[in-house]
Amino acid sequence: MSNSTVVDFDLDRYLRASRRLDLTHIDWDAVPSHGLEDGDVMCLHYMMDIETHTVIYLRDLLATRAAGDPHITAFLSCWVYEELWHGEAFSDFLRAYGIEVPAEHKLPDGRTPLPTRPSRTARLREQLGVGHKLSLIPTMLGSMLFRDFIALHMTWGAINELSTLTAYHALIRRTEHPVLHQMLRRVIQDERRHFAFYRAQARARLSRAPRRTRRLVRRILESFWTPVGAGVKSEREVDALVLYLFGYDERGREMVREMDGTVSEIPGLGGLSLLEGYLDEALERDRGA
């Protein structure tokens, strides 16, 4: 990226301040004393698996032109570290509540060694064919053919981070578990910074790009965008999460519209309604089921 492009994000400050999620004041002992709905448990598993999957998403990103940009690679280095600890936080929470499927190896003193849930994660990656399929080829080809591929990836990342943090807000609305509220609020603080980075990058890159690039990014999103976790989770699982968090009352739909409104402020994406579109499709499939 040339020096003349203003990226409205203080990367220096982010990098210096980046640290592991601070959960020191979370009252883990109180976790089993409050109830979770089945839907809450579903969301927690989904969120844990997808946070833990971030490193694989990073591998895909590094196979593209994004790897050539030192600002982006510095951000991604800290970002992926923070996301690891988000996955561990969800894992800790579920274990404190009494859920660990499959049961995992423990140390002789009963502690759980890090990374937690290695069998679950390994099984998920095995199912996805991570490491022995040609899934990287389309990404690499796209990057070779499309000079502004980074703009697309930064835009996609902004939508991912925004929908992630909004989903955590929605789970706070949905669940009555006070310790989960506390934990989610901490995670949201990190997700806000992640969103700010991607959005600033997307804005800067798309505002200086030729109009055909903005049109292409818009068209690619319209044709290929799916919610965070699609591809790792089945459509049925993605729908279940979306409907549980956003599909049960008017405020849920408003939250989805607010996300679309925020995405619409990115240059070239005015009027796009990917998220509400997905909510409607999920409702449609649910009615048909």
Q: Does 86 engage in binding with Fe ion (CB under 5 A)?
A: yes
- Which range binds Fe ion by CB under 5 A, 81-89, 144-152, 200-208, 243-251? 81-89
* Stretch touching Fe ion by CB under 5 A, among 9-17, 34-42, 161-169, 252-260: 161-169
Query: What are the CA-CA distances from residue 6 to residues 197, 200, 205 (Å)?
Result: 12, 9, 9
Residue 89 Cβ, how far from Fe ion at the closest point, in Å? 9
Binding of Fe ion at residue 88 (CB under 5 A)?
no
Our CB check for Fe ion shows the closer of 83 and 260 to be 83
Point out which span in 59-67, 141-149, 157-165, 248-256 binds Fe ion (CB under 5 A): 157-165
Question: With respect to Fe ion, which residue has the nearer C-beta, 58 or 283?
Answer: 58
Interacting span for Fe ion (CB under 5 A) from 44-52, 147-155, 178-186, 219-227: 44-52
Tokens 């279940």 locate to 240
**Closer of 188 and 283 to Fe ion (Cβ):** 188
Query: Which tokens go with 130?
Result: 């991570």
Instruction: Rule CB under 5 A: say whether 153 interacts with Fe ion.
Output: no
Q: Which residue has the tokens 């995405």?
A: 263
Pairwise CA distance, residues 89 & 48, whole Å: 8
Q: How far apart are CB 75 and Fe ion at their closest, in Å?
A: 11
Q: Which helix (H) or strand (E) holds 86?
A: helix 70-97
What is the residue-wise DSSP string for 39-67? HHHHHHHHHHHHHHTHHHHHHHHHTSGGG
- State in angstroms the smallest separation of the CB of 165 from Fe ion: 8
Per-residue exposure over 117-149, b if at least 16 CB sit within 10 Å of its own CB, e if not: beebbeebeeeeebeeeeeeeebeeebeebebb
| Biggest CA-to-CA distance, the chain | 61
Residues 6+ apart with CB under 8 A from 191: 161, 164, 165, 168
Interface stretch with Fe ion, choices 18-26, 45-53, 199-207, 216-224 (CB under 5 A): 45-53
Supply the minimum distance, in Å, between the C-beta of residue 230 and Fe ion: 16
Q: Contact letters (x/-) for Fe ion, 259-288, by CB under 5 A?
A: ------------------------------
Nearer to Fe ion, 48 or 151 (CB): 48
Q: Residues 49, 92, 148, 191: which binds Fe ion (CB under 5 A)?
A: 191
Residue 194 binds Fe ion, judged by CB under 5 A = yes
Q: In Å, how far are 63, 128, 144, 262 from 269, measured between CA atoms? A: 26, 31, 23, 10
Give me the residues that bind Fe ion (CB under 5 A), please: 51, 83, 86, 161, 191, 194
